[in-house]
Structure 1
Amino acid sequence: MKKYFLIFALSFCWINLVKASDPAFEKAMTKQIQAMETIQTLEESQKVSNSFLRISEAQPEEWLPLYYAGLLQIESAFRFDVNQDQALEQALEYIEKAKNIAPGNSELTALEGYAVMGKISVDPANRGQSMTPEAMQLFGKAIALDKENPRAVLLMAQMELGMAQFFGSGPEKACGMARMGSDLLRKEKEKITESYILPTWGQRMASQFEKVCQQN
């Protein structure tokens, strides 16, 4: 019985390995991830987002295309003249679909917290008290799922900084977390190759923290 179980387990791992190294999927993802770096307008953002959604339709078992489509919606809410709540709700919809594919995923959990944090920033006076615990809980969960996820740590630091500014306290705790996030980004950079399609963003946020923390 143990022999058959082992054969089944090895077969399952091989199937997942083949799926994970699908060259057509990796090529399509790499192309759109590179396109993300050059986005300057809302139209360009929508075009790349739609491309990720098409990849998702072709590969419904993959969570990454929906992740990046969600990330683009969040970034659009901050960068462009859009209905911010609508963009953030769309992001949450993509994230929820991706979570059904990959439950307990640290990157998706952190991204969900990022979207909630965005919704707080739209109307902090009315949403801060009720939604801040939700965002903090999501970032805490993302860190618990993967303590080496720099985005989860940096986003938690961002929330800590916002609360410190609101209550008039010092940024020491936020800056400490931000330094941890920056260290994790440097560690992550060592394993990034041209075909690496997992999330790697966060350097811009880390650089902004460096300026804030140097002033205090």
Structure 2
Amino acid sequence: MKKLFLFIGILMSLNVAAQSKYQKGMQKAFTLWGEGKNTEASQLFERISKAEPQNWLPPFYAAQIEILGAFGVKEEATLTAKLNKAKEFLNNAKSNSENNPEIMITEALLNTAYIAFDGQKYGMTLSGKNAQLYAKALAIAPKNPRVILGNAEWNMGAARFFGKSTKPYCDEIKRAIKLGKEEKIEEEFYPKFQVKRAEEVLKQCQG
């Protein structure tokens, strides 16, 4: 019996050590990202994903860094390389978390990066996919503030493109902000709602 308790104790201590290493790695990656060291942050998230092959969060954040870095890119080869890499990360995340609305809206953001680069080339094929992704994410998580905001932003962009008013989406942004402030996240490192950024989007909407 003593040996059994000893074995259980060793397993628990190993688990705590692994957890601590994971936590430290994630915290460091977020710090690097916050300091604008995007390449280092992405590489660290990638290394963590290999050490934690069943965890969707590290590849998810690696994908986000690549996608956000694709906006404003001037060379199509650079854009494609970044977004292909992001797609690999998202596929990895998806394999560990199916029907995840956070991954769906990040896929939509990836498509948006292509459309922002060349609307004529990518708009026709990817706009419909984005509409489907947001609809599916909203069906799964109708009160998720990130999903609501992402959908509203997408619709605002489409409205601007066609010369229409963005005001119809203001209430959705306000609802996202309200839900974001009330949201209680229990899972460590789970995506958080960025209230300040949402408030900036709301200003653009009312403008």
Structure 1 length-normalised TM = 0.79
Distance in 2, Cα, partners of 1:34 & 1:185: 23
Q: Percent identity over the alignment?
A: 28
SS of corresponding position for 1:22:
helix
Q: How many residues align?
A: 191
Find the counterpart in structure 2 of residue 113 from structure 1: 108
Equivalent residue in structure 2 for 1:126, among 74, 98, 121: 121
Equivalent residue in structure 2 for 1:157, among 140, 152, 160: 152
Which structure 1 segments of 5+ residues have no match?
1-17
Find the counterpart in structure 2 of residue 69 from structure 1: 62
Change (3 A) 1:173 1:198: same
Find the counterpart in structure 2 of residue 207 from structure 1: 199
Shift, 1:204, TM fit: 5.1
Give runs of aligned pairs for residues 48-67 of structure 1, distance below 5 A: 48-67=41-60
Shift, 1:38, TM fit: 1.8
Give runs of aligned pairs for residues 174-185 of structure 1, distance below 5 A: 174-185=169-180
RMSD (Å), alpha carbons: 2.5
Give runs of aligned pairs for residues 1-216 of structure 1, distance below 5 A: 22-39=19-36, 44-78=37-71, 83-188=78-183, 191=184, 196-203=188-195, 205-215=197-207
Distance in 2, Cα, partners of 1:24 & 1:202: 27
Larger Rg: 2
Change (3 A) 1:192 1:103: closer
Change (3 A) 1:45 1:149: same
CA contact (8 A) 1:85 1:122 kept: no
Shift, 1:207, TM fit: 2.7
CA contact (8 A) 1:33 1:197 kept: no
Structure 2 length-normalised TM = 0.82
